[in-house]
């Protein structure tokens, strides 16, 4: 059988550029050369494509059967690249345009999950330069979290312990997005749960994240190597199943396909679970939990890549059975 031609798309115009490169290296090493003919497409921090861009025209990219976009954050995880791949009529790994855009916008995702009865932490949505700090200061008990609405890997997020710290946190977040979120702080535990699939998604074994800092920030995730993870998470069986159930429900609510990682908070005082966010292109680095959770569930890294590419090709075949003209 002919090898499947996979283009791994990495880098990008994002604060998570370096993480994308590390994820792409793991994927390139993990793809079985007996099954795949693999190429790498690099996008520089300035947005230049090397060796050349994917063209937004069906049939214009003959050397590619499926794209594996591993572009974390803006201009990659937010539906923009997914739109390009739809125009090019190329199969691609991960959620489509709508789900990617919804999951990237934390405000829109919270509203959508709330409408479906899925618990999320209380929040307020703000716009750069259009908020009154004196009004916001008393909105929630402290600590509160301030974050850009559209970013990942905890870039731009601050944990605010006192009202006098709020303005600086808002200004910091506003460097990364025009739209901001302010959330009630949750004292408790953090969990992650990997999900994959198209029409019938399944959840892996959840893990617990034990930050070494005030919260699981960028440095803790990627630089310090001091945060710890517990896999499987030490939970009662009913709690584990509830995380898995909510992960699948959140995945479906956002319209995800292919893969996503759903992150949770568990409040110590109440034991209540909250969906914190959905990552539609989770990390695939050597320390990333998305593949590690699947490995714990009996799906090793190479087999996981096979499945994700299979979901992409299945979806493409389903699209080709759809009429786009009268």
Before 137, cis peptide (omega within 30)? no
End-to-end CA distance of the chain, in Å?
36
Determine whether 77 is an active site residue.
no
3-state helix, strand, coil in the chain (%, to 5): 35, 25, 45
From the list 149, 123, 151, 116, the residue with the least C-alpha distance to 254 is 116
Determine whether 190 is an active site residue.
no
Determine whether 279 is an active site residue.
yes
Query: What is the Cα–Cα distance from 84 to 293, expressed in whole angstroms?
Result: 30
Determine whether 263 is an active site residue.
yes
> Do residues 82 and 56 touch, judged by C-beta distance below 8 A?
no
Determine whether 86 is an active site residue.
no
Catalytic residue among 105, 283, 288, 315: 283
Catalytic residue among 263, 274, 288, 306: 263
Catalytic residue among 208, 277, 290, 306: 277
Catalytic residue among 36, 92, 216, 222: 222
Determine whether 16 is an active site residue.
yes
Sheet containing 158-160: give its strands across.
123-127, 179-184, 144-148, 158-160
Catalytic residue among 12, 279, 290, 315: 279
> Do residues 23 and 283 touch, judged by C-beta distance below 8 A?
yes
Query: What is the Cα–Cα distance from 204 to 243, expressed in whole angstroms?
Result: 10
Catalytic residue among 261, 276, 306, 315: 261
Catalytic amino acids? Answer: 16, 153, 222, 261, 263, 277, 279, 283
């Amino acid at each position: 059988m002919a090898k499947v031609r996979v283009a791994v798309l990495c880098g990008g115009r994002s604060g998570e550029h370096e993480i994308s490169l590390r994820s792409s290296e793991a994927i390139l090493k993990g793809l079985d050369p007996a099954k795949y003919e693999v190429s790498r497409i690099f996008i520089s921090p300035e947005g230049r494509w090397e060796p050349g861009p994917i063209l937004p025209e069906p049939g214009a990219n003959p050397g590619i059967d499926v794209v594996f976009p591993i572009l974390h954050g803006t201009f990659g995880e937010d539906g923009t690249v997914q739109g390009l791949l739809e125009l090019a009529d190329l199969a691609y790994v991960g959620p489509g345009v709508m789900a990617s855009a919804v999951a990237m916008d934390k405000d829109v995702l919270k509203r959508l999950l709330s409408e479906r009865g899925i618990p999320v932490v209380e929040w307020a949505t703000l716009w750069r330069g259009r908020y009154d700090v004196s009004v916001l200061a008393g909105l929630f008990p402290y600590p509160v979290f301030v974050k850009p609405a559209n970013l990942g890997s905890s870039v731009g997020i601050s944990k605010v312990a006192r009202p006098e710290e709020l303005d600086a946190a808002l200004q910091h977040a506003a460097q990364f997005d025009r739209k901001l979120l302010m959330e009630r702080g949750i004292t408790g535990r953090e969990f992650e749960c990997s999900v994959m699939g198209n029409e019938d998604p399944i959840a892996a074994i959840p893990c617990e994240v034990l930050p070494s800092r005030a919260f699981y920030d960028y440095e803790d995730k990627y630089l310090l190597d001091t945060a710890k993870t517990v896999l499987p998470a030490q939970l009662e069986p009913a709690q584990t199943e509830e995380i898995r159930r909510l992960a699948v429900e959140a995945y479906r609510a956002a319209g995800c396909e292919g893969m996503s990682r759903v992150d949770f908070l568990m409040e110590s005082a109440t034991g209540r679970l909250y969906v914190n966010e959905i990552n539609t292109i989770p990390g695939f680095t050597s320390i990333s939990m998305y593949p590690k959770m699947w490995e714990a569930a009996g799906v090793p890294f190479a087999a996981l890549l096979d499945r994700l590419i299979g979901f992409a090709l299945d979806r493409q075949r389903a699209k080709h059975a759809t009429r786009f003209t009268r």
